[in-house]
Homo-oligomer: A and B are copies of this chain.
Amino acid sequence: MSSSLTARERVRAELTREIADVARGQLAVHGASGLSLRAVAREMGMASSAIYRYFPSRDDLLTALIIDGYDAVGEAVENAEAAVPREDHAGRWMAVCHAVRDWALAHPHEYALLYGSPVPGYRAPQDTVPAAVRDTVVYSRIVSDAHHAGALNPPGPHPPVPPSFRDDATRVRELMPDVPDDVIVRSLIAWTGLFGWISFELFGQFDNVILDRAPIFDHAMRHQARALGLPA
């Protein structure tokens, strides 16, 4: 109930959100390490020290931005995937791929904050985890659904996974129940391949070489789908 909030609490929540918004704007312009509390305060017309009433430290503000970022990409992925018929597993995978890439291209600095080099001296607290795995949850459900529908036919040989992978596979299987080890490995490869491609594209490794990027990204991710075992 908004009526249960006092006027004080409402204005506080409002200001907290506004600070985060302004900071996100700064982030988009100057990058993560260029995030300046004083600049945020200046832009809002308040004293820099007043910011600390709302965020105890720069790292806490950063944490808020990280959580918001994970939620944003997670929501984009969820929405894109939900728009595809559930039996079209390859289509759902492609929707996820394009959702991540589109969001990354639209918010490069935020993507860098989430999936690029960790900010030195900053240690992500545990409360970022729920937001961080939203996209992974969606992806895992696609793989799991495809497997249970019998739609997963990975090409080529699949040699036995190293025995030491058992424990790790068990942890992954919490998100994709009953999926066999070799499919888990393939899904990890596709997932890291997706983010590896986007990171190369965003972080400059494709500069001066791969210029027409959207079509080949689509082509490459369809290839990943086939390697994962999803029917074309």
Binding site for B on A (CB under 8 A): 30-34, 109, 112-113, 115-121, 124, 129, 155-157, 159, 161-162, 164-165, 167-168, 171-172, 185-186, 188-189, 192-197, 199-200, 203-205, 208-212, 215-216, 218-220, 222-224, 226-227, 232
- 10 additional A-B pairs beyond A115-B199, A159-B232, A165-B215, beta carbons within 8 Å, are A30-B121, A33-B119, A34-B120, A117-B203, A156-B156, A165-B212, A168-B211, A188-B216, A192-B199, A196-B199
Residues of B within 8 Å of A204, CB to CB, are 118, 124
Residues of B within 8 Å of A208, CB to CB, are 129, 171
Which are the 7 A-B pairs with shortest beta-carbon distances?
A196-B196, A31-B120, A116-B117, A112-B117, A162-B215, A33-B33, A192-B196
CA distance A205 to B74 in the complex (A): 15
Contact status of A216 and B120, CB under 8 A, knowing A171-B209, A172-B209: no
12 contacts between A and B (CB under 8 A): A115-B205, A117-B117, A117-B203, A156-B227, A157-B226, A168-B216, A172-B210, A192-B193, A192-B200, A193-B196, A195-B205, A227-B227
